[in-house]
Homo-oligomer: A and B are copies of this chain.
Amino acid sequence: MGKEQDIELIKKYQKEIFLFSQAYALLHWDLETYMPKKGAECRAEQMALLESLSHEKLISDELWEALERLKEEDLSEDDDIMVKRLYKDCEKARKIPKELIEELARATSLGTIAWRQAREEKDFKIFEPHLKKIIKLKRKEAECINLPGYLYNSLLDKYEEGMTVEELRLRFEGLKKGIIALLQKIKDSGRYKTQKVILKKKEFPEPYQMELVRDVAQKIGLGKDFSRIDFSEHPFTTSIGSGDVRFTTNIREDPLFSFYSSMHEAGHALYEAGLPKEHFLTVLYDAPSLGMHESQSRFWENMIGKGQAFWKYYFERFNRRFGIDDFDKWYREVNIVEPSMIRIESDEVHYPLHIILRFEIELGLLEGTIQVEELPKIWNKKMREYFGIEPQNDKQGVLQDVHWSQGSIGYFPTYILGSIYAAQLYEALKKEYPNIEKDIEKGDFMRIQQWLKENIHKHGRKYLADEIIKNTCGEGLNPDAYLDYLRKKYSKIYAF
């Protein structure tokens, strides 16, 4: 077959794979938002069928042979990179035996149910045998993929292409030390010692919360004609195809939960909406990694949404309702630093510690230096060590996250990478537009949105995350940028 026919063939395959995954995305979105309870069993079958069809396409010999031929050809830059990415995806998929995939699907499906029950009953023992099985299977999966170095690398690569344990360890070590030192300064400050949580205990009726969520999503660039917002237990973002991105939110006790979770998800949604249309229905219409994706959500949630400039613009809409009429008081309260048991309730400063704790544990589990039955003990010990607090029960501790029950090992580090990338991007943005905060104060986010689209979104998956960051920020992953950002911000907030 000729080069052109092969390109056509692999595009046809990609088109079908991505149309399947879009239909799958809608089935999942509906499951989380509107599906009647009794539809669950059948929905699982519908999703399993689409997933298996998509997988069959990905591992088909016809596709593989075309890719093998194309690898030897002289291609245009875009086709070349498309072939390279798709080749790697296929290669990895073809390494994992069908039986292992099925075993994993069963184990994680039962595991998620068990995790839910264990969490409800605050009893890790219920989840323990399931997690053991899952770890065993994930180890097998990693052995099949067999990337160099740590076994963990083979799993991590799925979420953060090109990243390794070796590099993470190096980066996280300095970050951990820097955060702990910064926390010490914060805790020694007079303001910390006398701080009181007011805001989180206030009531904020749902209609007002939703009004603000819709307002802010639209302001930062999510038009109604290509996006929508719904409710689900856990907020998430999904894309059902070109021209249709959706995120969800929820109303929780914290009156700002919906607002910040929405800014976060809106950041993800803007990324999806900004992907390069010319590569739609190919592997290049995607983010290079979850860390890169997370950088966009963190950017909007933290760098913008928790910044002084943003609140200069938005404070008016809150102060009357909450009776906090002093701007500085409000800004400090929004950024209050306090150790928390729960990762998703964490402030920006403590956040990396939550992740490092999980990374250390899941790495140990996979490498065999930590046993599943020791988990609650180890978890609580690390919490005491890093946070100075200890969970009252497993629900507040080792059972708080769904990830492991779903077999997502190697996923957690991407959360920190997102924060670091976001800080680096914010620095680069301010270097290019020194007066960008003036825009934010006026509620004008157009320039920021365009800048992110130009520098991040429009590249899709053509470059690795690290390459994109290098091109935009002048250097690759650098945790010091995050530490700098935190130090500058919190030394002002806590006046030290």
Contacts and interface: CB of A to CB of B under 8 A. Distances in A.
Interface string A11-39: 00000100110110011001000111111
Contact of A41 (B41, B46, B240, B242): B242
A374 interface: no
Interface of A: 16, 19-20, 22-23, 26-27, 30, 34-43, 45-46, 49-50, 53, 224-228, 230, 240-246
> Which 6 residue pairs spanning A and B have beta carbons closest together?
A39-B244, A38-B243, A42-B241, A38-B226, A37-B225, A19-B49
B23 A27 contact: yes
A318 to B, nearest CB: 29
Given A16-B49, A46-B19, A36 B227 contact: yes
A36 B226 contact: yes
A36 B241 contact: no
19 contacts: A22-B46, A23-B23, A23-B49, A26-B27, A30-B30, A34-B230, A36-B225, A36-B246, A38-B225, A38-B226, A38-B242, A38-B244, A39-B226, A39-B241, A40-B243, A41-B243, A42-B241, A42-B242, A42-B244
Tell me the dominant secondary structure on chain A's binding face.
helix
A176 to B, nearest CB: 42
Contacts of A30: 26, 30, 240
Nearest to A48: B19
Given A38-B225, A38-B243, 4 more contacts: A36-B244, A37-B225, A37-B226, A41-B243
A36 B243 CA distance: 7
A224 B36 contact: yes
Contacts of A228: 34, 36
Contact of A46 (B38, B227, B241): B241
Contacts of A41: 242-243
B23 A46 contact: yes
Nearest to A47: B23
Contacts of A40: 243
B39 A240 contact: yes
Nearest to A280: B42
Contact of A43 (B36, B42, B50, B244): B244
B19 A243 contact: no
Contacts of A27: 23, 26
Contacts of A42: 22, 240-244
Contacts of A26: 26-27, 30
A26 B34 CA distance: 11
A12 to B, nearest CB: 11
A43 B241 contact: yes
Contacts of A49: 16, 19-20, 23
Nearest to A222: B36
A246 to B, nearest CB: 8
A394 B16 CA distance: 41
Q: Which of A30, A41, A50 has the most CB of B within 10 A?
A: A30
A225 B246 CA distance: 24
